[in-house]
Amino acid sequence: MTALTELKEILYEVNDLNMAQNVLGWDQSTNMPVGGALDRSYQLGTLAKLAHQQFTSDQVGELLQRSQAETAGLDETSDDASLVRVAGKQYSRARKVSAKWIEKFVQVTSNAQTVWEKAKQEADFPLFQPHLSEIFELRKEYSSFFQPYEHIYDPLLDEFEPGLKTAEVQRIFNDIRPHQIKLISAIQQAEPVRDDFLYLNYAKDAQWQFGMNVIKKFGFDFEHGRQDISVHPFTTNFGLGDVRITTRIDENYLPTALFGSMHEAGHAMYEQNISPSLRRTLLCGGASMAIHESQSRLWENMVGRSAMFWQHFYPALVKLFPSQLGNVDLRTFYRGINYVKPGMIRVEADEATYNLHIMLRMEIEIAVLEGKIAVKDLPAVWNEKMKSYLGIVPSNDAEGVLQDVHWSGGMMGYFPTYALGNIVSAQVWEKLNSENPNLMDQISKGEFKLMLTWLADRIYQHGSKFEPKQIIRNISGGDLQAAPYIHYLENKYQDIYNL
């Protein structure tokens, strides 16, 4: 048996342990009774510890060295060479973190998620505060394992966006912020568009079925996936053959479930179209969260909020909800679903204001990690920043500091990837359209096979074989650039608001 074969056998088992964690995590968010939280935290902690111990063993280190020699003559883009390269990087990183720390972190965050759900429901931040304080302390400790670093946030950001530094993200955000503020200002001075029809009563069952039909048309494979309901929409997978998404339904606001399903389907179709040759390996997943997010935002916004998309789907929606939409023409509906108005909830934010939500969160995370803000003061700080960035103040903590699930999961460093995903999506969209001039015509007919095939060929099938920056270069011919995204936003909203 070669070293590479032996290494793969171990990595397969590590993957199986990680997928088992995903199963338990999905169940916790969709079906588990509240009383199961403590037991579930122990189960998840044990699985995480076992996976970490097995992956960071001396045996894996030895096999990696021998496998590097065995694959030295292979094309660096081959599956085997890529696996050894990526596994080597992940191994070096994982060895800096103890299995004991991993076990504790998973236990703490698993328990915290259930507390967060209750705290959000009751708008009770003090209930969640001690759990969040412990999580921030654990994340500070995690960063300390990677000293020296340029910034305490760097190790956390690198976990979700490999190779990217805090200073680089701040530079990109500083580049796009004035353009977005200028666009929002121009829109606020323009004649408002209607969106009142979106706030009528829409039956849950009908919303659910319409959303299911849309994502099936997109190409979400229901033989290898399913959709359920959760407090906060998410995507998870138990392997190539089982990719799960969730959505949430608001009977009094139509876009919540529909665009939530589109968004998560974008994530899921990425996972469903990874090459079978990468099954059970470290390469069987997205290249980074920004690349992943670029796909969810592309399907949700550039397709789902486009005028061409609704040429095909709007008649069916009107037929489903005649009393709500029967007197709303297509142009009015299209403008309504792209209504720009600073709002409290990030996941329901329009494209023009969305990135400001992300910048706010990143600033808060950095300030807490640097010791400039105490966790107990987060509600007040959050409200101050909402007023500064968006000119509005939450009426309670459920629509303020408690609205996102991410902190309960210890995902500090994750939020920037949402805005970065927006930027990447525009670069991908630009190239996709230039190479497929009939794309919008196909979308207007409800046909998405060509689009999904192109994305699978260029991005999805490769899993995490390539670094995020390389994927962007392979598609656009250059590095991450804000210009295509700014251009996309300005063109879209100049039309919608007659600027």
Q: Mind listing the pLDDT tens digit for each residue in 214-264?
A: 999 999 999 999 999 998 899 999 999 999 999 999 999 999 999 999 999
- At 98 the pLDDT is 93
Identity of the amino acid at 99: A
Average pLDDT over residues 37-55: 93
d(CA 306, CA 421): 18
Number of other residues whose CB lies within 10 A of the CB of residue 182: 12
> What single string gives the DSSP state of each residue in 14-63?
HHHHHHHHHHHHHHHHHT--GGGHHHHHHHHHHHHHHHHHHHTSHHHHHH
Residues 322 and 197 sit within 8 Å (Cβ to Cβ) = no
Residue 309 pLDDT exceeds 80: yes
258-284 confidence digits (pLDDT tens): 999 999 999 999 999 999 999 999 999
Region(s) of the chain under CATH 1.10.1370.30: 166-496
When pLDDT is cut at 50, 70 and 90, the band that residue 478 belongs to is: confident
Rounded Cα–Cα distance for residues 224 and 341 (Å): 38
Question: Which of 301, 292, 343 minimizes the C-alpha distance to 459?
Answer: 292
DSSP string for residues in 227-293: EEE-SS--EEESSTT-EEEEE---TT-THHHHHHHHHHHHHHHHHHTS-GGGTTSTTSS-S-HHHHH
**Average per-residue pLDDT in the chain?**
95
Two tokens, residue 463: 């899993």
The helix or strand, by DSSP H or E, that contains position 226, with its residue range, turns out to be strand 225-229
Distance CA 410, CA 117 (A): 15
Amino acid at 244: R
Q: How far is Cα 469 from Cα 479, in angstroms, rounded to an integer?
A: 7
Q: How far is CA 94 from CA 89, 187, 297, 408, in A?
A: 9, 47, 30, 22
Helices (H), 276-377: 289-297, 307-320, 322-325, 330-337, 351-369
Topology (CATH level 3) of domain 166-496: Neurolysin; domain 3 (1.10.1370)
* CB-CB neighbours of 437 under 10 Å: 8
Q: Which residue has the tokens 């703490």?
A: 108
The answer to whether 264 is a known catalytic residue is yes
Each residue of 312-338: pLDDT tens digit?
A: 999 999 999 999 999 999 999 999 999
The structure's pTM equals 0.90
Q: Which is it for strands 243-247 and 235-237: parallel, antiparallel or unpaired?
A: antiparallel
**Amino acid 215: pLDDT:** 98
Which listed residue (264, 293, 300, 430) is catalytic? 264
